[in-house]
């Protein structure tokens, strides 16, 4: 018998439906306090929460049997996923279940703010007939910037197009072609800030997005911009927004989510230029039924079939092949990470070919790790969605990235296993291939037209140069002058032997201008620096 504890409110019909499932006991403890949750959790295999309950390290430490934490919703910032991963606890969410509810609430908030619906209604309740005080604005022919084009952001963009708005979008993954098909002009963040009359946010709360709307980003916006946030609290610096409202930089704000909920300070919510709601984005009867049904169905599917759908920290692979496939997960992630740092343009297409012993294991999960490395944003650019091995393939396809996966019987090289990838961007094609050559030893064996055997990890210098004597010595001298130690080096030549590639694995502080110094050497054509962490 598997026991599932319900910590936050779910519809009774759904609870009754799953409590009747053979081998499953669903216990409703809606509104349980943290102290009582810690005392109670030890007897349960599963825990279901919405946004109220915080599943912290001390809650998990009190569990003896907990296998799955299910979030009835998309965001998981109220769950310590790192701690869950350490403890082998799967964290699942329910992406898509509340997409329409959140998209519709965003449009409702935007319209209500622009047309002064709330204050006009309050005036009528006071038996006042005051039309002049509530002159509003239209969405029609406005430029609306959508930050984050995941499921909800895309649905919002579709509806904005129907209003006749010009829709700008920022997303580090979505291809420009796919954006165009959705009626969105893809731009960078600074362009979006500068050109938008209205900005609506649809990104998750994470380290990279915390306080992304602040005094610096607001200064880049048009005077009188309208800000809408129905995504996550903490994305907006509330003090900076209050100051911008006071100065007139921001004319209106529509806010559904708050840095602390309920707010410790209601002054921003009381601002006459702010339309405020208490985190109602997913609060429709339809959405609540969908996410409740989905999360319990997923949890029971895992308990009965050992398949984890919509897990954010787990790839469901048969236990018998975990040992065989794990090294290829890491090789693929490292290849994707190298591409991410040397790319020139947005990824549009990827072709992956598997050789040798990689044919003995499922290759789609390996491709997920490759895409996770390739799609992860740099820290200065927020991820639109948290990219992980579970959702990487889905996110890539949703953003219009074409994916081709093939198994090849013929060997690529003398290596017993290999993964070869062609990453096609807006501007170029990047070819990489790698191999697992020993326990926790990964080598880059192809880079463009060059064949080599470079250690795939740590700090890597890729130096493309004319195939002439003396280059390696000059590189060594420059590195020595800045206290960079060379751990390993590998060289390769192109087919005509006119150009060479030298890959240096190094230790030491890589100065920001190091590539400039190296490219000043006669005969060196290009220098790229990549840092590949050991995951």
Overall fold of domain 318-440: 60s Ribosomal Protein L30; Chain: A; (3.30.1330)
Judge whether residue 86 has pLDDT over 80: no
For position 381, what pLDDT does the model report?
Answer: 40
Nearest to 300 by CA among 88, 81, 95, 68: 68
Instruction: Pull the structure tokens for residue 203.
Output: 């990104």
pLDDT for 35-77, tens place per residue? 999 999 999 999 999 989 999 999 999 988 999 999 998 888 8
3-class secondary structure per residue, 269-286:
HHCCCEEECCCCCCCCHH
**Three-state DSSP state, 108:** helix
Spell out the domain ranges in the chain: 2-96+286-305, 99-276, 318-440, 449-535
Predicted model pTM: 0.76
Residue 178 clears pLDDT 70, i.e. is over it: yes
Residue 292 pLDDT class (50, 70, 90 cuts):
very high
- The answer to which of 383-387, 428-432, 497-501 has the lowest mean pLDDT is 383-387
The pairing of strands 198-201 and 185-186 is unpaired
Q: How large a percentage of the chain has pLDDT more than 70?
A: 96
pLDDT at res. 380: 38
∠ CA 87-93-96, nearest 5°, is 165
Say which CATH class 2-96+286-305 falls into. alpha beta
Taking only the tens place, the pLDDT of each residue in 367-383 is 989 999 998 864 434 44
Residue 123 in this model has a pLDDT that exceeds 90: yes
The active-site residue, picked from 246, 261, 286, 364, is 261
Which three-class secondary structure state does DSSP give residue 315?
Answer: coil
Residue of 50, 202, 279, 415 marked active site:
279
Instruction: Give 194's DSSP letter.
Output: H
Residues pairing with 3 in the sheet = 25
Q: How far apart are CA 399 and CA 509, in angstroms?
A: 36
2-96+286-305 shares its CATH topology with 99-276: yes
Is residue 184 within 8 Å of residue 226, measured between CB atoms? no
Catalytic residue among 71, 154, 232, 346: 232
Give the start-end residues of each E strand in 50-125.
68-71, 90-92
Q: Is 15 helix (H, G, I), strand (E, B) or coil?
A: helix
Known catalytic residue at 334: no
pLDDT computed for residue 535 by the predictor: 64
Cα(89)–Cα(61) distance, integer angstroms: 11
pLDDT of residue 460: 94
Question: 388 pLDDT exceeds 90?
Answer: no
In whole angstroms, give the CA distance from residue 286 to residue 23: 28
CA dist., res. 192 & res. 221, Å (int): 8
Q: Which residue has the tokens 């996410």?
A: 291
Higher pLDDT residue, 49 or 282?
A: 49
CB 400 within 8 A of CB 178: yes
CATH fold for the domain made of 449-535: Alpha-Beta Plaits (3.30.70)
Q: At the top level of CATH, which class does the domain 99-276 belong to?
A: alpha beta
The three-state secondary structure class of 222 is coil
pLDDT in the model for residue 174? 87
Encoding tokens for residue 503?
Answer: 């890959």
Alpha helices in 266-411 (DSSP H): 267-270, 285-305, 322-342, 364-375, 392-398
Which is it for the CA torsion 314, 318, 319, 323, positive or negative?
negative
Q: Which residue has the tokens 């990235």?
A: 401
**492 vs 413, which has greater pLDDT?**
492
Torsion angles phi and psi, residue 386, rounded to 5: -65, 115
Per the CB < 8 A criterion, the answer to whether 316 and 308 are in contact is yes
279 is catalytic: yes
Let me know if 40 is a catalytic residue.
no
Q: Helix 99-114 crosses helix 117-125 at what angle (to 10 degrees)?
A: 70
Confidence of residue 245 (pLDDT cuts 50, 70, 90): very high
User: What is the pLDDT at residue 313?
Assistant: 81
Going by pLDDT thresholds of 50, 70 and 90, the confidence category of residue 341 is very high
C-alpha 448/C-alpha 337 separation (Å) is 16
Position 379 scores a pLDDT of: 42
- Which residues, other chains included, contact 77 with Cβ-Cβ below 8 Å and sequence gap of 6+? 204, 205, 206, 232
Whether residue 39 contacts residue 62, with contact meaning beta carbons closer than 8 Å, is answered with: yes
- The closest of 7, 9, 16 to 48, measured between CA atoms, is 7
Residue 385 — pLDDT band, cuts 50, 70, 90? very low
What's the chain's average pLDDT? 90
Task: Find, among 460, 446, 449, 458, the residue nearest to 415 by Cα.
Answer: 446
pLDDT of residue 395: 81
pLDDT at 386: 62
- pLDDT tens for residues 180-194? 999 999 999 999 999
Determine whether 46 is exposed, middle or buried from the number of CB atoms within 10 Å of its CB (0-12, 13-18, 19+). Answer: buried
Q: What is the mean pLDDT of residues 479-496?
A: 88
For 79, residues 6+ apart whose C-beta sits below 8 A from its C-beta are: 49, 54, 55, 69, 71, 91
Mean pLDDT across 289-317 = 85
């Amino acid at each position: 018998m598997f026991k599932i504890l319900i910590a936050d409110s779910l519809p009774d019909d759904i609870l009754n439906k799953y409590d009747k499932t053979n081998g499953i006991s669903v216990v409703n403890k809606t509104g349980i306090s943290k102290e009582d949750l810690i005392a109670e959790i030890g007897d349960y295999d599963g825990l279901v929460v919405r946004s109220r309950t915080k599943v912290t390290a001390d809650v998990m430490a009190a569990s003896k049997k907990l296998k799955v934490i299910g979030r009835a919703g998309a965001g998981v910032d109220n769950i310590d996923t790192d701690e869950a991963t350490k403890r082998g606890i799967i964290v699942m969410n329910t992406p898509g279940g509340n997409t329409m509810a959140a998209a519709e609430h965003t449009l409702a908030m935007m319209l209500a703010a622009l047309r002064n619906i709330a204050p006009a209604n309050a005036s009528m309740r006071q038996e006042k007939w005051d039309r002049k005080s509530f002159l509003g604005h239209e969405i029609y022919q406005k430029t609306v910037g959508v930050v984050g084009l995941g499921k909800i952001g895309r649905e919002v963009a579709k509806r904005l197009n129907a209003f006749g708005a010009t829709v700008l979008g920022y997303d580090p993954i979505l291809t420009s072609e796919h954006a165009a098909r959705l009626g969105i002009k893809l731009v960078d963040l600074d362009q979006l800030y500068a050109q938008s009359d209205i900005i609506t946010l649809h990104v998750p709360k994470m380290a990279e997005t915390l306080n992304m709307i602040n005094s610096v980003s607001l200064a880049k916006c048009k005077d009188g911009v309208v800000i809408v946030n129905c995504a996550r609290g903490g994305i907006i610096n509330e003090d900076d927004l209050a100051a911008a409202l006071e100065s007139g930089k921001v004319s209106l704000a529509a806010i559904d989510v708050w840095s602390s909920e309920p707010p410790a300070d209601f002054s921003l919510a009381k601002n006459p230029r702010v339309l405020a709601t208490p985190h109602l984005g997913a609060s429709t009867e339809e959405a609540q039924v969908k996410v409740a049904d989905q999360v319990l169905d997923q949890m029971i599917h895992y308990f009965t079939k050992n398949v984890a759908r919509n897990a954010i920290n787990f790839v469901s692979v048969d236990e018998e092949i975990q040992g065989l496939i794990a090294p290829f997960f890491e090789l693929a992630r490292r290849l994707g990470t190298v591409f991410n740092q040397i790319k020139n343009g947005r990824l549009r297409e990827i072709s992956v070919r598997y050789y040798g012993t990689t044919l003995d294991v499922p290759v789609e999960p390996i491709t997920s790790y490759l895409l996770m490395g390739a799609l992860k944003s740099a820290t200065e650019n927020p991820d639109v969605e948290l990219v992980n091995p579970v959702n990487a393939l889905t996110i890539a396809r949703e953003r219009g990235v074409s994916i081709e996966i093939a198994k090849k019987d013929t060997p690529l090289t003398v290596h017993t296993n290999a993964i070869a990838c062609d990453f096609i961007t807006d501007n170029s094609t990047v070819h990489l291939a790698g191999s697992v050559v020993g326990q926790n030893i990964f080598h880059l064996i192809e880079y463009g037209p060059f064949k080599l055997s470079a250690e795939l990890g740590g700090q890597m210098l890729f130096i493309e140069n004319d195939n002439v004597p003396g280059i390696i010595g000059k590189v060594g001298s420059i590195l020595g002058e800045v206290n960079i130690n060379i751990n390993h080096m590998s060289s390769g030549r192109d087919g005509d032997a006119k150009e060479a590639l030298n890959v240096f694995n190094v230790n030491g502080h890589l100065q920001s201008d190091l590539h400039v110094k190296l490219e000043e050497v006669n005969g060196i054509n290009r220098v790229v620096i990549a840092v590949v962490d050991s995951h």
